[in-house]
Structure 1
Amino acid sequence: MELGPDPHSFANFKHAKTTQIDLVLNCDFEAKEFHGHVDITVDLLQDTDVVLLDISGLKIQECSEADSGKKLDYSTATQAYCGSCLEVKLPPNACTKGSQAKVRVKYNTTAQSSGIQWLSPSQTKGGDQPFCFTQCQAIQTRTVLPCQDTPSVKAPFSFTITVPSDLTAVCSGLRQGEPTPNGDGTHTFVYHQPMPVMAYLIAAAVGKLAKASLGPRSDLYAEPEILEAARWEYDGITETFIVEAEKVCGTEYKWKTYDIVMLPSSFAYGGMENPNATFLSSALLAGDKSLTTTLAHEITHSWCGNMVTNAFWKDFWLNEGFTRYVERRILGAMFGPAYRGLQMTYGYFDLIKNCNFLAHRPYLLKLQPEIVGVDPDESFSRIPYEKGSLFLHYLEGIVGGEQPMTTWLRTYFTDFAEQSVTTDDFRDHFTAHFTKAGVDMSGVAWDHWLHGVGLPDYDIYAHIDNSMTVRCKEIAHTWLHDDGNGANASDIDGMKAHQVMVILDTIINENTHFSGDKLDRMDSTYHFSETKNCEIGFRWFLLCLKNNHRSCFEGVKAYLSRNGRGVYVKPLYVELYRVDPEYAREVYGGLSDFYMDVVAEPIKKTLEL
């Protein structure tokens, strides 16, 4: 079976396109599966007698007409890296252009459904109830439900989910009243998502969740044991971020509510922008609000990614690069240009680390990489985030600053609202807008930014306020060139967490050897190994491993046991394996059930398991 217009999907969406999804599932913790059915409404854009859906790790039981119950013929065909194709024959009266069909697929998930993570009670904070959640980006929705699993297709959905009576289900939509008791130890929640969204934004979290208010349109869901800590971290700032995002994007927030669900720290990402229910890792609860910038990022996705979406995964930078750019505009508006400069410096250092980490795969160092035949999850990195946002900052300078960019963003989000776009669409829109405004666009280095490998030819420091990073680089210089002489704990008193990250990144990116004695002195001075900030901890342990410092092994093991975020753990396993392959395999062997598949699979490849 050939793939469709999207090289990561079988969907024939140019012939039969999904316009509504209605999902009805039971959450079975004993069997560790979802079972039920999905009704998929498709509009025929061309004559065709089949609708092609993506599936992976699903057991299909039957296909039928949703309204009449009449059985429909179906077949499956497998293609290695992106699952299987479910081909469903359409009813004879719904095969011509302009027709509409509603297909029901009865199915259940399996142990191979990698978009679902099942946690035992012992893996939760409370220890007395299980927990499960989905994570479907990039192409994991097909492991949760049959669908046209491509960002080129957007549709409203409903999600009816039945769970044990003592658990709560939170889904990525607007909750429809209170759950309905079923009299059998279960109750049923109903959520509606009226906005057309990509399949990967269909999400659910089920567990022992308590609720607290965060603002006029925001609630927080978390395990009771961390509810107060999470409420303190995000109370008030959530609404402030939304309001500031509206100003930078030039349009109002259209999703009505903005709720947050705190997930266990095994979550593979810092956050996931599921509409009306952003998922955040509990590893972000640093206790000092230092990592709330991740929330600003996820809120920004309400415009960049959720409202206007990359049509294909090679255009992923349109999602993450835009979001990172707007996020830092928000932070700059709230805390000043120096803070925006700090954030951009931190991001640029992340870009350097990723370019070094991915040097053996240079095609991934392009802003618009060719990833046909490559699982998008395997190509995930900071490149689309940081190189993409840097590109937009470069363009900001060409067109005259922040205000012209906000004016353009308003038209961009309005003209392409609820659509999926390509890089060419962006380029044409941007060029037309500013040409009409009288800006000379002939000098824009489009090819260099979009198709160049690695770091762009752009002096970031000449275009930002560096005042919050000067002292950071001085401290790093003390350790790099003066053996730490004169350093003391007060060096970092009063510093923002991101300033400390810049210190460590400056040292890491120099690739200068540090002795074990120097690392021990540095830790005794600043106590980095004891930090509760997962970003600082990652950088500290990465520095130690890069310098073959075996004394950090126990600290690394503890860090890897409480953080499942891929951008942290994958580089640490790479370095740990380089230093001591046997120990790296031993550590992973004891933690393999902790990680989501999207993280575990690349780690296993690194460890040659």
Structure 2
Amino acid sequence: MAPLSSDLTPTVLPTDPHSHAGSSPVRVQHLALALTVDFDQHTLAGTATWHLANPGAAADFVLDTRDLTIEAVEALDATGLATTTDFILGSPDAILGQALRVTLMPATTAVRIRYRTAPQAAALQWLKAEQTAGTEPFLFTQSQAILARTWLPCQDSPGIRFTYEATVRVPAHLLALMSAENPQKLSPTGEYHFRMAQPIPAYLMALAVGDLAFAPLSGRTGIYAEPATLPVATHEFVDLENMVVAAEQLYGPYRWERYDLLVLPPSFPFGGMENPRLTFVTPTILAGDRSLTSLVAHELAHSWSGNLVTNATWNDFWLNEGFTVYFERRIMEHLYGREYADMLQVLGRAALHHTIEEIGAASPDTHLHLALAGRDPDEGLTEIAYEKGCALLLTLESLIGRPRLDTFIKEYFARFSFQAMDTATFLHYLRAELLDKEPGLEAKLNLAAWVDGPGLPPNAPTPTSDRFAKVDQALANLEAGTAPTALRTATTEWSSHEWVHFLHRLSPTLTAEQLAALDAAFHFTTSGNAEILAAWFPHTLRAGYAAADEAVKKFLHHVGRRKFVVPLYQALLATPDGPARAHAIYTEARRNYHSVTTGTLDALLATRAERH
């Protein structure tokens, strides 16, 4: 591999509009964290000691905070001598929180901050025992996109990396885990020590505390889960080591030592979160047939695209997710065949079209490179970054072939390991390494339309699926008058993906009586598969199929994954008596949701209430 020319090294990154610290000349290098977890008060309290990379670069040091109580700040010199120093908390901003400005002394090499989190800290989800699968309370964090600052004073920008060590004290009967080297059994004292030797951005800081057990899957992979969930999870993720091997064969060695999964309670707002060494996953992917494990392949792929090479700002989020979706489906193809991966591509493209329709085909929010300044970066966490980003790589693959694209991606990860990447630098690199070497290739790719243009460019390859073609035939037979029971033989081997495709293509004009016949044949309402339920319930709500109403309510009380609950509340609100039902359910269920989910639903239900 040729040396990287200096003009391609992303040393001058764009200012992060979502961080007070993004433009600070003094940068963090290493964190020593000491926290006590208080389940009674719903707080974390302790100290964060930041060792500075370039302490003499300015007279003060800027961190991001939100809803933190800063009790004291000390400046430390190279010998560890601590001196109380001045600090100022800036004016609060609803999105960005408050800047913490610490006065530095000439000999300062580190800054120690004693602080306490608020009970309502947005990153922290405190669960009562009845909200878990067991008999003990549970705590987990969700730091992405800019919520790390609600539980840790930090430079909360994806372009700023640091290593860390931590001591965490919890009730002695509970296990603590972090995005770091982790214990595999209980500490009798409730004190745990963690170390992360690879530098990470703040959004990948993670903590979980609960009644957890561990089961190894291989020498470097394993599962953490509540004891009642662990056997099912171990069965579901038996292919985890094979996934890691497949990923390494594609794009180079896994650089994070271990790859473990933590199965969280169902209030977790996402499918998964790629915290280094310890991916957090939702129990809604425990389908029993391993048919939803592409989500784990996605989070594993982030160990390269995102964790290893990270978007510099949230405007560049597609550089994380577009590569990750493409990589995820290559892993699944390697493990389960091309036909399987084709189904994922078709489902993904359908989700992209739905998102473009929802946002508006001409909206700048359908560009890959976003402009999110002044807005919550969560607004950019849509299918555009994921599926349009993947479609760009599929288009490039169709033009240059897989071998050349694989070589490009593998070298990209190797060259920029543990660095941040912005869109402009990536485009420069892409041109230098691929596009400029073949006259006319950039025009064929239509690169500008992908990155800075709206919607889906017309040169995107259209994914197809032979397995879905058989589903479409079954749907045609159904519409032609075939009884649902007559389709049982043809559907016995269908995976979750085929059923989701079936339900998404099902006519929206079916009556409650017709849905009852389908339910009698295929038992959708009583399915244990969350993807199937989430695709089925909008039909039942639209048609007024009352037999599913209690199951809808139970699902919304039990599951907090935003991907599922937001569309279901939207479907409920669209029915004649829906607003009243939606508000009644949400009033009871809201406490089961993470702030990431309630932030969306509060706005959705308030808006609909105003309209009525």
- Same fold per TM (> 0.5)? yes
Q: Deviations over 1:479-529 (max 9, x none)?
A: 4x4355565323321012112222222337xxx433222222222222222
What residue in structure 2 maps to residue 600 of structure 1?
Answer: 598
**Would the aligned equivalents of 2:392 and 2:460 in 1 still touch at CA under 8 Å?**
no
Distance change in 2, residues 1:476/1:373 (3 Å): farther
Matched, 1:49 2:59: yes
Q: How big is the shift at 1:14?
A: 4.9
Aligned to 1:538: 534
Tell me which residue corresponds to 2:112: 104
Deviates more, 1:60-69 or 1:377-386: 377-386
Counterpart of 2:525 in structure 1 is 529
Q: Report the Cα distance in structure 1 between the residues aligned to 2:440 and 2:361, rounded to whole angstroms.
A: 38
1:584 aligns to what? 582
Is this contact kept in 1: 2:370–2:380, CA < 8 A? no
1:138 equivalent to 2:145? Answer yes
Alpha-carbon offset, residue 600 of structure 1 = 0.7
Q: Which residue is equivalent to 2:346?
A: 345
Gaps (5+ residues) in structure 1? 95-100
**Aligned equivalents of 2:231, 2:184: Cα separation in 1:** 25
CA distance, structure 2, for counterparts of residue 447 and residue 515 of structure 1: 46
Provide the C-alpha distance between the structure 2 equivalents of 1:495 and 1:502, rounded to a whole number of angstroms: 11
**Structure 1 residues 489 and 407: CA distance shift in structure 2, 3 A:** same
Is the contact made by 2:285 and 2:292 (CA closer than 8 Å) also made in structure 1? yes
- C-alpha contact 2:56 2:106 (8 A) present in aligned 1: no
Distance 2:442 2:299 in 1: 34
Query: Where does residue 68 of structure 2 map in the other structure?
Result: 58
* Superposition deviation, residue 439 in structure 1: 6.5
- 2:10 — aligned with what? none
- Cα displacement (A) at 1:435: 4.1
- Please tell me the residue identity of whatever aligns with 1:578: A
User: In 2, distance between residues paired with 1:338 and 1:93?
Assistant: 62
Q: Which amino acid aligns with 2:211?
A: K
Task: Indicate which of 145, 164, 173 corresponds to 1:166.
Answer: 173
Q: Deviations over 1:121-158 (max 9, x none)?
A: 1212112x111011100000000100000101011111
Q: Contact between 2:71 and 2:114, CA under 8 Å: does it hold in 1?
A: yes
Q: Is the 8 A contact 1:329 1:340 kept in 2?
A: yes
- Aligned ranges 1:179-198 → 2 under 5 Å: 186-198=189-201
Q: Please give the alpha-carbon distance, in whole angstroms, between the structure 2 residues aligned to 1:558 and 1:414.
A: 47
Letter in 2 for 1:588: Y
Q: CA deviation at 1:114?
A: 0.8
Contact kept? 2:154, 2:202, Cα under 8 Å: yes
Distance 1:265 1:460 in 2: 36
Equivalent residue of 1:225, what SS? coil
Number of matched residues? 586
CA shift digits 1:305-363 (9 cap, x unpaired): 00000011111111111111001011112222222211100111111222233349933
Superimposed CA distance per residue, residues 411-459 of structure 1 (whole angstroms, 9 cap, x where no aligned partner)? 1001111011012222221221124654742322122212333333245
Contact in 2 for aligned 1:317/1:368 (Cα 8 Å): yes
With over 3 angstroms needed to count, the CA separation of the structure-2 counterparts of 1:178 and 1:569, relative to structure 1, is closer
Please state whether the residue corresponding to 2:395 is helix, strand or coil: helix
Q: Select 2:132's aligned residue among 114, 124, 129.
A: 124
Partner residue, 1:317: 318
**Residues 562 and 180 (structure 1 numbering): CA distance in 2 closer, same or farther, change over 3 Å?**
closer
Equivalence for 2:410: 410
For residues 564-579 of structure 1, the aligned pairs below 5 Å read 564-579=560-575
Aligned equivalents of 1:460, 1:291: Cα separation in 2: 25
- 451 and 525 in structure 1: CA distance in 2 versus 1, 3 angstrom threshold: farther
| Paired residue type of 2:82 | G
Work out the CA distance in 2 between the residues paired with 1:598 and 1:456: 31
TM-score with structure 2 length normalisation? Answer: 0.91
- Secondary structure at the aligned position of 1:410 is classed as helix
- Are positions 1:252 and 2:253 aligned together? yes
CA contact (8 A) 1:173 1:275 kept: yes
- The residue number in structure 2 matching 1:31 is 41
- Alignment CA distance shift 1:274-1:454 (3 Å): same
User: How far off is 1:465 after superposition?
Assistant: 5.5
Q: Extract unaligned runs of 5+ from structure 2.
A: 1-13
CA shift in 2, pair 1:505/1:180, >3 Å: closer
TM-score (normalizing by structure 1): 0.92
Aligned pairs for 1:307-456 (under 5 A) are: 307-359=308-360, 362-400=363-401, 402-435=402-435, 438=438, 440-443=440-443, 444-456=445-457
Please report the RMSD computed on the Cα atoms of aligned residues, expressed in angstroms: 2.1
